[in-house]
């Protein structure tokens, strides 16, 4: 297998260093909610609602107005908080289970445009060459400005094998159009292969319900392929936009024997949470190199930050995305759910991830990464079959969840926004 770019650099680093060496609850109501000023504002809302109902040029349904008002309230807070109607809420739950329809692109909102956080491996978006940081300005010729993020994502979805044209604005280039064909997106969140004969390469594309088991299966397979003679592990988190907090904690824990992994801190000190590692290291102390770039966000940054702070891994690549806020998914009985920013992430050393990102220990610019790394990634040992079996394990939890327990801390970068 041909080595290239960053993977080769990581392998060399491992040799040198190696030989010498959930479910969040809705926050309590504010005590200010009962003030007279708040009631005045609510009365104002009622007055505006009545004026719109009676005076708007077209017929409009009350639920449409209320839904728009709720979403406006949430999106006014930050780019990551928003309202999910029943359909969007169900779509989101499908996404975290690892299979859904669309283009295979993780997106957020920036200045009214849809921003590409990361294309997902082996999807229409990845095959079309979309890159982190691309801005989508038009969908089939229609401007995205004025749309909410869920509305834009909904327009990008459609029947399998149907086409859509995206107008892309990329830094340093004139706007251009890209034609993509929609497909069923199956996220194989973990892939692996051997680099040479004794360095394990593990690619984690997202943190969904399949990731933890997929990682363990990949590590087991790599040890067998190397006849238990591995000398190091490369963990590739490039263009991984994030996902579920519990999976980020589990992946970090897999390489740590002890210590804090991440903490979340919100408005109230008593609500701070700390997640700690338990004994056991699936790599048995072998040197680890973690690859990151500007498309590595949220859950990826939790893992990278934890392993870096504990000096468990060498980080190689470029600065990560910098998405370090916690979104809690709060179901609204019979009315979808709301995604609300409730806290910030902090690494074990107390570093805030939000808007700062994680700096690598060794900087390797993206321009130096050879194009054939994608091909090398695809030739890896397909561990997903074993990982898929873990769906049975994950599904049992879903079956037991009521609306209250269905609240999850979802930190994927688009919660940032959404996945299409």
| Catalytic residue check, 309 | yes
Residue with tokens 């806020």: 325
Query: Annotated catalytic residue: which of 93, 115, 323, 409?
Result: 323
Distance from C-alpha of 238 to C-alpha of 191, rounded to nearest angstrom? 13
Distance from C-alpha of 243 to C-alpha of 238, rounded to nearest angstrom? 14
8 A C-beta contact, residue 337 and residue 410: no
Query: Annotated catalytic residue: which of 246, 309, 410, 411?
Result: 309
Residue with tokens 């691309």: 134
Query: Annotated catalytic residue: which of 189, 206, 252, 298?
Result: 298
Distance from C-alpha of 376 to C-alpha of 379, rounded to nearest angstrom? 5
Query: Which pairs count as long-range contacts for 130-134, CB under 8 Å and 24+ apart, including other chains?
Result: 130/105, 130/166, 130/168, 130/178, 131/170, 132/239, 132/293, 132/294, 132/295, 132/321, 133/170, 133/171, 133/294, 134/168, 134/169, 134/170
**Beta strand extents in 120-257 (DSSP E only):** 135-139, 142-143, 163-169, 176-181, 183-186, 190-195, 199-204, 232-236
Catalytic (active-site) positions: 298, 309, 323
């Amino acid at each position: 297998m041909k080595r290239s770019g960053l993977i080769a650099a990581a392998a060399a680093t491992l040799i040198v260093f190696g030989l010498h060496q959930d479910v969040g609850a809705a926050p309590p109501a504010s005590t200010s909610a009962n003030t007279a000023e708040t009631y005045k504002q609510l009365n104002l809302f009622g007055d505006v609602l009545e004026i719109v109902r009676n005076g708007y040029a077209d017929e409009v349904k009350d639920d449409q107005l209320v839904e728009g008002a709720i979403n406006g309230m949430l999106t006014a807070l930050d780019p990551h908080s928003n309202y999910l109607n029943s359909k969007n809420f169900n779509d989101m739950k499908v996404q975290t289970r690892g299979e859904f329809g669309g283009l295979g692109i993780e997106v957020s909102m920036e200045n009214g445009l849809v921003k590409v956080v990361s294309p997902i491996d082996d999807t229409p978006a990845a095959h079309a060459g979309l890159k982190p940081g691309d801005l989508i300005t038009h969908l089939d010729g229609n401007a995205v400005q004025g749309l909410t993020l869920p509305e834009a994502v909904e327009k990008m979805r459609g029947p399998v094998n149907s086409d859509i044209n995206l107008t892309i604005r990329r830094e340093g280039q004139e706007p251009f159009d890209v034609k993509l064909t929609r497909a069923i997106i199956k996220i194989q969140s973990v892939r692996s292969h051997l680099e040479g004969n004794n360095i394990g390469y593990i690619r984690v594309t997202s943190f969904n319900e399949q990731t933890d088991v997929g990682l363990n299966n990949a590590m087991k397979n790599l040890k067998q392929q190397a006849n238990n003679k591995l000398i190091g592990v490369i963990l590739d988190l490039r263009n991984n936009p994030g996902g579920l907090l519990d999976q980020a904690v589990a992946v970090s824990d897999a390489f740590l024997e002890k210590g804090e992994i991440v903490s979340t801190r919100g408005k109230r000190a008593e609500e701070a949470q700390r997640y700690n590692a338990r004994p056991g290291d699936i790599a048995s102390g072998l040197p680890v190199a973690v690859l990151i770039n500007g498309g590595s966000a949220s859950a990826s940054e939790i893992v990278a930050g934890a392993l870096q702070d504990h000096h468990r891994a060498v980080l190689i690549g470029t600065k990560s995305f910098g998405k370090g806020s916690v979104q809690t998914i709060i179901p609204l009985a019979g009315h979808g759910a709301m995604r609300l920013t409730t806290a910030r992430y902090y690494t074990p050393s107390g570093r805030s991830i939000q808007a700062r990102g994680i700096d690598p220990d060794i900087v390797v610019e993206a321009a130096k990464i050879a194009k054939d790394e994608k091909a090398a990634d695809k030739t890896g040992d397909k561990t997903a079959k074993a990982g898929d079996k873990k769906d049975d394990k994950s599904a049992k939890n879903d079956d037991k969840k009521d609306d209250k327990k269905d609240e999850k801390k979802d930190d994927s970068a688009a919660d940032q926004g959404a996945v299409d």
